[in-house]
């Protein structure tokens, strides 16, 4: 874990729920860009600490000057705590996504990107097509809850859309992904050889691809670090 300013936060949704979250910022400078993380399916273990997002928060503020905002959607538990409410199959989660984007706007975080993983990609496609959002990055998109209508909305938005698709995905593989996303002129499908849905052993590859979109000047990420390394995550109490 590399140095950063890490603050726990509480997101309050329009329907009155309190969601557990965290913001990780560069330790001694302003961020150049922001990623809001939408985690995998909570009914199958997805949460704000899912591996790629945990590693993003640990590394990207220091290595790429990216602010990383993670949170548990309604009814989801991680070691940081449990968000209020209950899983709603990508329906009421619209309020969760809106609360995260609103927080980023209020905090004046720059260049807001939404990065979804699996279930989180459906939330991104359905609810992150917001004026303040630059674009979305989709990791292992299953297109389970997102519809052709959602894709059509992205097609007219002009926003950037990048689908990072593993070669051996369990739900949507590169050839089919290209067909489905062809309706969005700004969409780009990146296929990852030997990749699988959970990206085991390929977190570094995925982080490089994310950074290449959000802050290209910082890609590829360095493989060494000469400064301090934190072996346990420091907690900063913040009233937010």
The CATH number of the domain holding residue 163 is 3.40.50.1820
Question: Is 227 domain-assigned?
Answer: no
> How many Å apart are CA 86 and CA 74, to the nearest integer?
5
Q: Are 42 and 75 in contact (CB under 8 A)?
A: yes
Per-residue confidence (pLDDT) for residue 138, from 0 to 100: 98
* Per-run averaged pLDDT (10 residues), the chain, 240 residues: 96 98 97 98 98 98 98 98 98 98 98 98 98 98 96 95 98 97 96 96 97 97 83 40
Question: Is 78 domain-assigned?
Answer: yes
Contact partners, residue 144, CB within 8 Å, separation at least 6 = 119, 122, 171
Question: Is 237 domain-assigned?
Answer: no
Question: Is 240 domain-assigned?
Answer: no
Per-residue confidence (pLDDT) for residue 16, from 0 to 100: 98
Supply φ then ψ for residue 194, to 5 degrees: 70, 0
> How many Å apart are CA 25 and CA 14, to the nearest integer?
26
For 165, the domain range is 5-218
Question: Is 236 domain-assigned?
Answer: no
Per-residue confidence (pLDDT) for residue 123, from 0 to 100: 98
pTM score of the predicted model:
0.94
Count of domains forming the chain: 1
**Beta strands across the sheet bearing 66-71:** 5-12, 18-25, 66-71, 33-38, 112-117, 133-139, 160-166, 187-192
Question: Is 17 domain-assigned?
Answer: yes
Q: Are 80 and 8 in contact (CB under 8 A)?
A: yes
Per-residue confidence (pLDDT) for residue 232, from 0 to 100: 53
Question: Is 204 domain-assigned?
Answer: yes
Per-residue confidence (pLDDT) for residue 230, from 0 to 100: 66
**By three-state DSSP, how is residue 60 classified?**
helix
């Amino acid at each position: 874990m590399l140095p950063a300013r890490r603050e726990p936060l509480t997101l309050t949704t329009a329907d009155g729920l309190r969601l557990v979250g965290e913001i990780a910022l560069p330790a001694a400078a302003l961020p150049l860009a922001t990623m809001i993380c939408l985690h995998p399916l909570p009914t199958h273990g997805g949460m704000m600490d899912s591996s790629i997002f945990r590693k993003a928060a640990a590394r990207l503020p220091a290595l790429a000057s990216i602010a990383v905002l993670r949170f548990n959607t309604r009814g989801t538990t991680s070691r940081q705590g449990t968000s209020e409410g209950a899983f709603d199959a990508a329906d009421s989660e619209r309020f969760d996504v809106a609360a995260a984007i609103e927080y980023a706007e209020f905090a004046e975080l720059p260049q807001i990107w939404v990065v979804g993983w699996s279930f989180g990609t459906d939330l991104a496609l359905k609810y992150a097509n917001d004026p303040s959002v630059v674009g979305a990055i989709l990791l292992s998109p299953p297109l389970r809850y997102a519809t052709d209508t959602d894709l059509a909305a992205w097609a007219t938005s002009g926003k950037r859309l990048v689908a990072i698709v593993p070669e051996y995905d369990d739900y949507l593989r590169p050839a089919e992904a290209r067909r489905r996303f062809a309706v969005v002129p700004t969409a780009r499908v990146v296929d990852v050889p030997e990749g699988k849905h959970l990206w085991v052993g390929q977190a570094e590859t995925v982080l490089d691809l994310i950074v290449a979109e959000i802050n290209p000047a910082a890609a590829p990420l360095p493989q060494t670090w000469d400064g301090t390394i934190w072996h346990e995550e420091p907690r900063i109490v913040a009233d937010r």
